[in-house]
Amino acid sequence: MDITVIKNFVADNQLYILAGFFLFFLLIQLVYYLGIYARLVFYRHKQSAGLNEPVSVIICARNEADNLEKYLPAVLSQHYPEFEVIVVDDGSSDDTEFLLRRIAERYPHLRTTTIREDKKFTHGKKLAVTLGIKAAKYDILLFTDADCEPASDQWLKKIVTKFTAGREIVLGYGGYFSHKGLLNKYIRYDTLFIAMQYLSFALSGFPYMGVGRNIAYRKSFYRKTAGFSKHLHLFSGDDDLFVNENADKRNTTVEFSHESHTRSVPGDSFSKWWRQKKRHLTTAPLYKGKHKLLLALEPLSRLFFYVFFAVLLCFPELQLMALGAFAFRLVIQLIIIKQSMIRLKENNLLLYVILFDVFALFINFVLFVTNRIRVRNRQWK
């Protein structure tokens, strides 16, 4: 076809082409919200026959004495017939060792193991997790962090009852405590949105990650899959990469009833949250190709949706259509996010949806770019 004809066609139909691109990206957004994220909203928890297998709860801690004193008793006081709690003290220089001895006097099912600090040998949390798994007496392993508190004394039971026939991995929800301030709201919104993704994708048959604050799997499955051997060179990945490599629609399920949640202490400064977020994102390039595509398509379509919306507002004849489409997406988005907030027991975030929806595009892009730069000073957690 003559290039002149193409140019004339584009010139004569530029408004229709712009509108077409805008509606195309709107359609992709609706597929995510109505086709994927809505699964979290409409999921119905099935009643279990009541599995009561013994469980090993594993917590890795480095200089977490204050958090352990505050939150460990809630883990040790779970209403469950038989379980142990293993705390791996990973080279702590605070009072962690003495605190654990004192707590063990009250709770005989608390067991501890210690990694002594060695300045010649640098390691990440993955080593502590591995030692905790080796020390575990039972096949079902449930993981959380030292700064996490179970939402109820039914946490352990709710998670374990999901280990029905063929299920090897259970993905739970780990949120953050609510405090005042915009940073806290954004951290909780970001956590909510990530949970909407990984829980909904798992419900859709595409499990791709879990969070170490609330995840469980069988020790026998860990051994069968060679554990963390494929990504030992990374400081991170004991949770999301393990799931990404080994989870599928047959062996993975979810549990996010209110009683099964955990709550963690959020970063109290932007710099702390930024470092933690950067560490979490270092594993994303190693996800399976199909998962990277699905995860990248949503923010890309969101970005272009906003860009074309802004462009169409410059044309009076298309403003009404653009505003109507924007309002339609916003209503769907607010409904899904509001219902997800109810399911995951998050409050006071709805008014910030548009602001955070746009801000997340910018902040995640900056994180992506800066993570391409090799950072020598890595963080344990």
Cα distance between residue 87 and residue 64, in whole Å: 11
Nearest by Cα to 269 from 259, 277, 261, 260: 277
Is residue 310 situated within a structural domain? no
Q: Residues near 344 by Cβ (< 8 Å), separated by ≥ 6?
A: 173, 175, 192, 195, 256, 261
Alpha-carbon separation of residue 218 from 123, 167, 326 (angstroms): 24, 9, 45
Is residue 77 situated within a structural domain? yes
Which CATH number does the domain housing residue 111 bear?
3.90.550.10
Structural domain total, the chain: 1
Is residue 245 situated within a structural domain? yes
Encoded tokens for 125: 């949390």
**Phi first, then psi: what are they for 321, rounded to 5°?**
-65, -45
Percent of the chain with pLDDT over 70: 90
Length of the chain counted residue by residue: 381
Is residue 347 situated within a structural domain? no
Is residue 368 situated within a structural domain? no
The mean pLDDT value for 239-246 works out to: 91
Is residue 366 situated within a structural domain? no
> For 16-71, how does the pLDDT look when each residue is reduced to its tens digit (9 = 90+)?
888 999 999 999 999 999 999 999 999 987 766 556 899 999 999 999 999 999 99
> For 124-149, how does the pLDDT look when each residue is reduced to its tens digit (9 = 90+)?
788 899 999 999 999 999 999 999 99
Is residue 43 situated within a structural domain? no
Q: Residues near 254 by Cβ (< 8 Å), separated by ≥ 6?
A: 43, 162, 170, 171, 172, 199, 202, 203
Cα distance between residue 133 and residue 131, in whole Å: 5
Q: Which domain holds residue 148?
A: 55-189+199-274
Cα distance between residue 268 and residue 25, in whole Å: 36
Alpha-carbon separation of residue 190 from 23, 335, 353 (angstroms): 26, 17, 10
Instruction: Name the helix (H) or strand (E) containing 370.
Output: helix 353-371
Instruction: Name the helix (H) or strand (E) containing 274.
Output: helix 270-281
Whole-model pTM: value is 0.90
Residue 296 has pLDDT above 90, yes or no: yes
Burial label, 320 (beta-carbon count in 10 A; 0-12, 13-18, 19+): exposed
Cα distance between residue 298 and residue 30, in whole Å: 10
Q: How would residue 235 be classed by pLDDT, with cut points 50, 70 and 90?
A: low
**Measured CA angle at 362 (ends 288, 188), to 5 deg:** 80
Which stretches of the chain are assigned E, i.e. beta strand? 55-61, 83-90, 110-115, 140-145, 148-150, 169-171, 174-176, 215-218, 252-254, 262-264
Percent of the chain with pLDDT over 90: 72
Residue 336 has pLDDT above 90, yes or no: yes
Is residue 94 situated within a structural domain? yes
pLDDT at 153: 96
